[in-house]
Amino acid sequence: MLFALLCTDKPGGLQLRLDTRPDHLAYLDDLNARGILKIAGPFLGADGKPTGSLVIVKTETLEEAKAIAAADPYAKAGLFSNVEIKAYNWVFNNPEA
């Protein structure tokens, strides 16, 4: 099952995001190598700077998706003001369909 992790950065979190980015990317690389990560990237504000993240993962349960979200270095560093997790159905341009 796919889950979308919709993560919103805290105001003024850009420097924390930049400082934590190498660990975050290593975490995503590991998820990708294990076949869990499907899509990831930042949301951008009007100024073109990151304001949050979209991460889509493939897990068996919502609880597993929650654990993945909580283990993200960005989340551990306190970057996010909110993380919403929703079941997701990838209909168009899904390479696995």
Extents of the domains making up the chain: 2-88
Residue 85 in contact with residue 4, Cβ under 8 Å?
yes
- Fold classification of 2-88 is Alpha-Beta Plaits (3.30.70)
Nearest to 26 by CA among 66, 93, 76: 76
pTM of structure: 0.94
In sequence order, what are the residues at sequence separation of 6 or more whose Cβ sits closer than 8 angstroms to the Cβ of residue 84?
5, 6, 7
Query: How confident is the model at residue 50, as a pLDDT?
Result: 97
Dump pLDDT digits (tens) for 29-48. Answer: 999 999 999 999 999 999 99
Going 92 to 87 to 58 to 4, the CA torsion angle's sign is positive
